Each structure stands twice: as structure tokens, then as C-alpha cells.
Structure 1
């Protein structure tokens, strides 16, 4: 049993062989886009964190290589300790250096060195020594007209030199790429830019735009544009900055990987984390509820993930935590798979609500209201029925939890004019007099032993305060 989902092994011959999300077809589309001669451009693959972008671009990189492309991969987050983005990007290009283009690359490096050279501090220090003797009076240089004029003159010369160096740098870069790429552009993938230090992220963008915007190279930015926008606003110190408009300066084409098939991914995670070691254990199958527990867990996962759209990474973590929790159940113990999964989902995605439940901070009506607020109704009768049953099960277990295991069904049922009504008014139930809600209560009461169980039974295992038993 794995505790975390490991990186997928990418086959050189069939890069998407282990992809469980059917994403090869999107890589094929992108390959067609970049496989066109012409100017270089910047392509952004824009999806939220945790949606599998890194795995996708690494699989696509291998596919590109198999199709004759020269590719480079740069993890910006792993390199943001480097102060100079130009040096970091050039170090990636260096892998393309060979005997036939060594002279061109060395020339490129020299011109890049001029672009990154910071001569102003040395210039100021030299001028300060000429005009003042005391180190403490260095600030006085600002008031010296003659010094200011000399600084300006040197800055003009420096600007002219840098401008020429930039043109020379781009010319050498195009020449270097031409000797490397053959009849296809070089594909330079920049990943994890949105997780970098804000200053570094913006500097990488600026360097990419001003230094590397030449024919023969296509940059692929694997980003969460919303998060990158936060970094941009942070650098410029203004929440009013239109970050989306700013990023358009750098991005020529934007692509978002479509949402995966939730059911297929749930089935994959169920298999990957070896849930059947528990659900299909011979000891577990001795109990009548075993098969329904397995089905209930899978069905709720599919419904809940479709309804609330947690990221792929969140789904992986929820399944990993659920699998660990199962190891704390003996085979004969009641599992309540729907509520177990729901609580783990809350713990991962809505910790505040989870803490309210675990801390007995809500009464039953407040629990019902917040459940509806967080989960909603869904768009089909099937989803509503599943969510209503889940709400009733959670309410029943919570009722026993806050009443110290002294089960009393009257705490959530009342009688008016001889008619039985639920004490809790569920916004999920739109039937007359909450009859669907009452039917769920009656269904739970068919097994009295289960009706008496407290939510603590599940919380102790989710919080890993029980001993591993299976």
C-alpha cells in the first residue's frame, strides 16, 4: 500500500502509456501547433495547481523528442535561488552546445554577460572617491551637479552599449538555434513559474520577452495564471494592477487542458491505493455489509468529486488518507464509508467546517444548513438522493457524538398533529413535510446497532488516534 502517489514512470517509447486521464489527444493537438515553421512564440498551458500539468508537459516533452523536436525543460521553482534568470536560462541552453556551434555559444555567453553586468555601483564608488574623501559623505554625490552629469553621460553610454549587445545577443541566439534545431523549433518548457519568488517569476518573464523572443524557439509556460497574477501584483505593489493584461504581453497563445473523466480517475486511485486489500479481504467478506461498503465508497467519491471538483492532487490526498484510516478498522467494525470519505474530504478541502464538526460547535440545524451551503444540491435526482442520505447519516452520527452516545431519535424527530416530522429542516429535501429525509432516518433505524454509533468512531481513525489493526 502506498501512502502517497508517486510520480508516474514515463516510457520513452510510449510517453502516455501510464496516463490515466486520456490526455495524449491534447498533446497531439499541441504538437501540431508547434510543428509549424515561422516565428517563435510563447504558449501558456494554464490550469490550476494540482491538475497534473507537470506530468503532462513531461510526457509531452518525450513525445516531442520522439517526433524529432529539440526540447529543454526548466523547473523555475527549483532554480529561483539563482539571482540571475538569464544565467539560469543560458545554463539550460548550454546542453545544446557541441563542437560545431561552440564558438557561437561562447559568443552568446559573452554578449549575455554584458547584458547582465551591473556597472553602476562601481561607477558611483569611483566618482565618490574623486569628489569626496569621507565614506560617510557618499550620499552627498547626489547634490553634485558635475558628478550627476558624469553619471548621466556614463549611463547613456552604458545604455547604448547594452542596446547593441541585446541586438548582437539575439542575432547570436538565432544563429545558435539554427545550428541546433534542424527543421523544427526548439521547445523550451518553463514549469512551476507560478510557485517561484514573485520577483524571480517576473524577471524570468521579462528576460524571456526581451532577450529570447527570436525565431526558432517556442517557450511553453506551464502555469496557473491566477497564481502568477498574484505574484505580478505583489512585485508591483498594487492589487489594482490588471495582472491578466500584464501577462498578455508575454503570452501569445493560451491553452487549458480539459477536465479529466472523474469516474476513470477514481477507479484508478481506488486500484492504485489498494482499497480492495481491505474491502475484498476474506475476513471482510464474512460480513454482509462488505460489498455495499465498497460500492458506497466509490459511488460517493465519484459524485462528490464531480460536484465539488477538487484538484487531482487533492483527490489523491483524500484517497491516501482514507486508505490509512481503513487500516484502523477491524473487519467487523461498522465503516460508514460515505461519512468517512466525506469527513476526510472536509479535512482536506474545508478544514474550518471539519473543525466545527469535530469540536461539537454546531447544533443539528446548523450542521444541516452548513452542509447544504458547502455541498449544494447537484443537478440530478440521483445526486440529491445520495447527498440527502449522506446528510442524514452524518446528522445521526453527529447527534450521537454531541449527546455522549446516549441515542435518542427524538432529538431529530418531532410529532405535530399526529404527524411525524424531522426536527432538522434539510434544504436538500424539497418533498412535502420532508418525507424523503424521514425515509432516510427510518432506513438507518433498521439496523439499531449502527444507529447508536457516534461520529467519534470515525474521527478517531481519521485523526490517527487509534492503533493500526489491518
Structure 2
């Protein structure tokens, strides 16, 4: 089943290489094609309407809904359209203080590939000259940020602007007072009372001069970046706008994520620049409130930065399970699930629904199941109707060691009345079935049989022959019979219990590997 699906979903680009959309089980490529058409058209509309500045699109989806897969595929599609495009993994570099340096470094690296060694005249020479101007102006902004970063610790301890005050006091006070200005906060506070009007004026002049220098550097950078884009289009024949895709922003430190948004807003607000950011907007909102306070209107704050938000459609549970299983590379032949013609993905999806699992629960539960499958060395197969609910119970903090009638799984399975399947067809030599059965009863039947030795099930089956009344009983007995024969062949082992009793312990081991 999975090999056929994988082959059907295999995509190739014009060079015959696998596409980033290979294995797109959630239909994300359709979303990317729509968004790309929308953005290019919207940028043209804004130009005709005389609207200036960059365009910022927020791609919003919860954790685990394929944002990175989507962004990689969209990046590939943009490159095929001959638009300049840069991909930035924000989380990979959030160890730094200022994301500006990360963004400008990626931009500079991209354009550097188009700079010819020694152009004499024409578009090539113009492009190289403007490229140098952008690097120079970017460096000035970087230096300003670096100076600010060196003073940050002082501001946290003493207060905003105190470092500048110290510098001015040291410059203008007599020789004997300079040691005081370098001392503790209490010493500084005492010395400030002796600061005369000339020192205050000098401090004000210094701050105003720095502010004007920062404004001019920013203006110069924006102007040179706009000129670079026009020269780039003329030099290469590529089409504007320039796309900057920033992924994993919601995984960054809250302060870094917020600073990234602010830098995009203030430093890169240039015509023909499009930012596409992938975020879990709800998580970003929580992070902002953690910094600015619980009462802060974080969503309204975010609206300042985004021109538009595109909500990636939530995948159905079926799509999510199918994607997780197909992408894992595990062997589903190690699994067993109820049904005349078993469909493991469908069973997992339906079990997720009937056990009221959230999408996060599904992803974590399937991940543990996949880890268990990777390490599975038993002769029998993993029984999904028992293993998967127990994994969910483990994640929910339930006591999964208790498999008796007063245990969580027994009680929960007994409550599932609406999961009914029509079992039609033959099953391993038994009479032809055409029955409606509750899948919760399969769980209960396994739990009942696990309380007795495997050989007891074998003897019941031999005495009753093939006239077993329900598919549910036939399925459970058949699985236990298979396990018995695989483990003991023709040897009679009357006291051995089923391997399914080991499930809780195995789940706890695999649970230590789970994703968050």
C-alpha cells in the first residue's frame, strides 16, 4: 500500500531530480501555487496603487502541521519562476543577539553569486557598485547594533541611558571625579547631582547625534537595497520581487522572534521585497505576552508586522497518520489490526478519533508507535487495537499497567459504542462473516484473553471448531494462536502468557524518545 502511494506521489523537477513536493500527502503544493500567484499579483497591484514598502505574509499553522515542508516546497516553486529567493532558518541561528545580521548575511551571500570578478561597464559594473554600497551601509547598521549589544548588560543592571551618562560624565568631569563615574550605581547617583548644565547639554547632543546617524544609516541602507534590486533585475533578467522565506520563527527564543519581526518592519521595508514567515501564531502570541505581560494585546501587536496571514488548512487525522507513517520508512507488515482486509492507517485514524485524541496527541502517539516498530524483535506482530490506545493512555498520564476490568483501558474501551464496522468476507477458514461489530469489543476481548495463558485460547478454539459466533472473537483468537505457534511451534507450553502483557513496559521505553 505505502510503496504504491509513494510512487504515485513522486514528483520530479525539470532536471529529473526529486522535487521538494515528493510525498505531499496533505496537498500543500496546491496551497503554494495559490499563494505564489496571489503574492506576485498583489505586489503588482500595490505598485499601480502607489503603495510603497515591503509585503509580509504570515503562513500560520500549528506545530506538526508541515510548515517547514510547505516552505521548502514554496521556495523551490519560487526559484522555478526566476524570482530571486532566499531561504532562512531562523531557529538555526537564534543563538545570536540580533537577527538583522543573519538576514543580511543570507541576502549578501545570495547576491554575491551574481557579482562578476571584473566588470568594466554596463549593467554588470552597476550591479557590482550597488552591491558594494549595500554591504557598506549594512555594515554601518551592524556596527550600531554591536555597540548597543555591548551596553545591554549595564542597562539591565542600572537603567536605560546610564551607560551614556557614565561616558559623558567621564568626558566632562574633572580628573578626580572620573573614578566615581566608573563606580557603583550608588556612587554614580551621588555624582549625578554635581553634573552641571554643560554636561547635560553634552549628553543631549550626543544622544541626538547618535539618533541622526542611525536614521541616516537606515535611510542609506534602504536606498542602496532598492537600487541593488533594480540593478539585479537589469543584470540577471530575473523578475522582482525578491522573496525572503523565514522558517521556524516560532521555535526561536521569544526575544529573538520579536526582534526579527521588528527588523523586518523597520530595516527591510523596501519596494519589491516580500517576506514569507512561517509561524504558529498562537505560540508567538503567548511568547509576546510572556515578555510584555499577560494583559498585553499580542495579536494586535502582530498585526502591525503582517500584511496578510494565510492559514494552512488543518490536515485531517487520516492525512496526518498517512503522512507520518509514509515518511517514517518503518515496515507496517510488523503490525496487525482488525478487519477482513486490514487497513492499518485507517484503523489508527479511526482509533484517534474515537479515543478523542487531538492532532498533537496523534502525532506523539504515532511517533511512539513508530519507535516501537523500529525496535520490535518479537515473533508476533504489534497488535494496534491494544498497543495504540495504551500509547495514548501513557501520554495522557493514565495507569497503563492495569489491564484488568478496573483499569483505564478496559473502562475506556467499554464506552466506545459508536465505532462500528461491517466485517464482510472470509477469515482464515472460518465461516463467511457479514456482521456489524464494535471495535471497542476487540480491545475488551484481548484484555479478557490476556488474563489467561495462551494455551487456554488454543484449547477453546480446538473444542469449539470453526463455528465461532463473531468476527471479533475469531480475530482475537487467531492472533493469539499465531503468536503461540510462532513462539512454541508444536511444543505444549501451558503456562506461557501473551507478549501483549509487555506492551506497557515497551511503551514507557519508547516514550522516552517521543517528540514535543
**Same fold per superposition (TM over 0.5):** yes
Q: Work out whether 1:246 is the aligned partner of 2:251.
A: no
1:105 — aligned with what?
A: 134
Deviations 1:41-94 (A, max 9, x none): 110110011111111111110110011111111111111111122212111111
Q: Work out whether 1:140 is the aligned partner of 2:195.
A: no
* Length, aligned pairs only: 406
Q: Work out whether 1:162 is the aligned partner of 2:223.
A: no
Q: CA deviation at 1:123?
A: 3.8
Q: Within 5 Å, which residues of 2 pair with 1:161-240? A: 161-181=213-233, 182-236=238-292, 238-240=293-295
How far apart, in 1, do the equivalents of 2:417 and 2:246 lie?
40
Root mean square deviation of aligned Cα: 4.2
2:389 — aligned with what?
A: 342
- Kept after mapping to 2: 8 A contact 1:23/1:56: yes
Q: CA deviation at 1:191?
A: 0.9
CA 1:140–1:12: 2 relative to 1, 3 Å: farther
- Kept after mapping to 2: 8 A contact 1:186/1:216: yes
State the SS of the aligned residue for 1:250. coil
- Kept after mapping to 1: 8 A contact 2:56/2:275: yes
- Kept after mapping to 2: 8 A contact 1:405/1:453: yes
State the SS of the aligned residue for 2:86. strand
CA 1:9–1:125: 2 relative to 1, 3 Å: farther
How far apart, in 1, do the equivalents of 2:12 and 2:220 lie?
40
Q: Within 5 Å, which residues of 2 pair with 1:366-405? A: 367=409, 382=421, 389-395=438-444, 397=446
Q: Work out whether 1:255 is the aligned partner of 2:284.
A: no
How far apart, in 2, do the equivalents of 1:442 and 1:216 lie?
67
How far apart, in 1, do the equivalents of 2:319 and 2:479 lie?
36
Q: CA deviation at 1:462?
A: 3.5
1:16 — aligned with what?
A: 21
- Kept after mapping to 2: 8 A contact 1:170/1:214: yes
1:297 — aligned with what?
A: 344
Q: CA deviation at 1:155?
A: 1.7
How far apart, in 1, do the equivalents of 2:476 and 2:366 lie?
34
State the SS of the aligned residue for 2:246. strand
Say which one has the larger Rg. 2
Unpaired stretches in structure 2, ≥5 consecutive residues: 1-8, 116-127, 152-160, 423-434, 457-468, 482-496, 511-516
1:28 — aligned with what?
A: 33
How far apart, in 1, do the equivalents of 2:414 and 2:38 lie?
44
2:80 — aligned with what?
A: 66
